[in-house]
Amino acid sequence: MNSTSIQAATRALLLLIGQMLAPQSGRAEEPAKNIDPKALEIIQRASTYLAAVPQFSVSAEIWEDFVQEDGRKLQFTKIVDVKLRRPSWVQLDVRTSVPKRSFFYNGKSVTMLDQKTGFYGKAEAPGTIDETILAMEKKFGIDFPIDDLLVSKPFGNGAAMATAAQYYGVEPVNGITCHHLAFQNEGIDWQAWVEAGPVPVIRKVVITDKLEKSAPQFTAILTAWDFVTPLPDFVFSFDPPAGSIKVEMIKVDEPEEAGSVTK
Amino acid sequence: MKTIISPCHRLTGSLVIVALLMASVEFAFAGRHLSVRRNVNVRSNTHINRDVHVRRDIDIDIDRHHHSGFGVGLAAGVITGAAVGALVSSPPRGYTTVYVGSSPYAYYGGTYYQQGPSGYMVVAPPIGAIVPVLPPGATVAVVNGVTYYVFNGIYYQPVFVNGVTQFRTVRF
């Protein structure tokens, strides 16, 4: 990505923040010509359903494109195991073929553990998941993986901000019949596959980055949705394993040279 | 290169293992040098709800696989011998550019270089540099309950930079 597209990304970010902060009163005029109401209705049904459940666990297999400087597009895979209890408990384990990072949030503090080294950073946290996700990004530059799923309105804001939406009928995802929805937002296109039936869970999400010339994609396949297995408090509290070391967390504006231009 | 694994610090052990893992990944790609740079590894949008921001993926550390493991046992012995003031035409392949304030340094295996009119000169390690990997052979030192890694008399403190484990040179 050259500096021009970074500037473009920054502009788009500011634009979107502006949209998000704008008062909701603009809603009445929103059903623009290109929005298929069926797509919007299904994504909102999925969002409302997930927002209303008191707890869930799910496993997300994520396929991500990385475009190399010579133009080759490579895809890498990681898995995020999610455990969430509303309103203020989240536990995430990120792994490839080995454990990578874990997150623990219990309404009071938030911890990120680097599984490879045993280093962890811990900070006081706000009282809700949404606030904590934003605070971690703002203070420490740390993103919660697949945060779109963790927020109080999963995918809801994204759908509300879409400039166009289409419905493509039903298709199987891992053998499960799903509604195929497509949305176009500023900077990204995204698609969602929502299970057809009484439990409208999201089974697959694809995000295409329109700001990059090579349009890399992010695909998440969601399996093992579980709304019943108890998630007691201890699941969300971090007990430093023997030998683990607490480290400072700092934010450095990227892509400012924080340390890694390798040649 | 001498590595001292203190029995009371399993961490040092695991770092060594990590280095070996990275070296093996490097082999898997041998013959096909991946010039994976910061820019390449950046992707912008994985958020739908609050989208566009530019961030490296930090769980898939392809950038590290392809430079840090590289030379762990190979070039390090040569490089660490480089004396401050020595001139080279270019830093070893796989070096990382680190900035301290606005000054760029080339970092490789615990050695820092600054570019001059006639090449790169080995300079004293700057305090406040943040490097992605420890110099091979760094040893653990606990000072007042805080863990550091020491290499050539320079103390490196682990720190999460935007959620990525890196090491900062500190002065006491």
Among A142-151, A157-166, A249-258, B3-12, where is mean pLDDT lowest? B3-12
Q: What is the pLDDT of residue A14?
A: 46
In a domain, A256, yes or no: no
> Looking at CA atoms only, how far is residue A196 from chain B in angstroms?
22
Supply the pLDDT for residue A158.
85
Residue A136 in any domain: the answer is yes
Task: Give residue-wise pLDDT tens across range A176-232.
Answer: 999 999 999 888 899 999 999 999 999 999 999 888 888 989 999 999 999 999 999
Contact status of B32 with chain A (Cβ, < 8 Å): no
Contacts of A189 (CB under 8 A, 6+ apart): A182, A183, A207, A208, A210
* Least confident window among A149-153, B69-73, B105-109, B131-135: B69-73
How far, CA to CA in Å, does A175 sit from each of A171, A172, A195, B25? 9, 5, 11, 34
ipTM: 0.77
| Preferred mutation among B18, B22, B51 to probe A, highest tally of A CBs within 10 A | B51
Number of domains forming the structure of chain A:
1
What pairs with residue B114 in β-bridges? Answer: B121
- The chain A residue lying nearest B97, using CA atoms, is A261
In this prediction the pTM is 0.74
Whether residue B141 is contained in a domain is answered as yes
Indicate yes or no: CB of A207 within 8 angstroms of CB of B56.
no
Q: Which residue of B has its CA nearest to A117?
A: B11
| Domain range for A227 | 34-246
pLDDT value at A28 more than 80:
no
Instruction: State the residue for tokens 């009119």.
Output: B117
**Are residues A66 and B62, on separate chains, in Cβ contact within 8 Å?**
yes
Q: Is residue B27 part of a domain?
A: yes
pLDDT at residue number B145: 85
In a domain, A108, yes or no: yes
> Band of the pLDDT at B57, cuts 50, 70, 90?
low
A245/B98 Cβ within 8 A = no
Q: Based on the structure, what is the number of domains in chain B?
A: 1
Q: What is the pLDDT of residue A254?
A: 55
DSSP state letters, B70-104: TTTTTTHHHHTTPPTT-EESSPPTT-EEEEETTEE
Residue B155 structural domain: 10-170
The CA distance from A207 to the nearest CA of chain B, in Å, is 7
Q: Would residue B4 count as lying in a domain?
A: no
* Helix or strand (DSSP H, E) at A103: strand A99-105
Per-residue DSSP letter, A28? G
Residue contacts between A and B (CB atoms, under 8 Å): 218
Cα A177 from Cα A197, distance rounded (Å): 8
Is A128 inside a domain boundary?
A: yes
- A263 min Cα distance to partner chain B (Å): 5
Q: Which of residues 49-108 of B touch A (CB under 8 A)?
A: 49-60, 62-63, 66-67, 93-99, 104
Q: Confidence class of residue B12 from pLDDT cuts 50, 70 and 90?
A: very low
Whether residue A223 is contained in a domain is answered as: yes
Note the pLDDT of residue A41. 95
At residue A33, the pLDDT reads 57
Provide the pairing of β-strand B42-43 with A99-105.
Answer: unpaired
B1 inside domain: no
To the nearest whole Å, the CA of A226 is away from the closest chain B CA by: 23
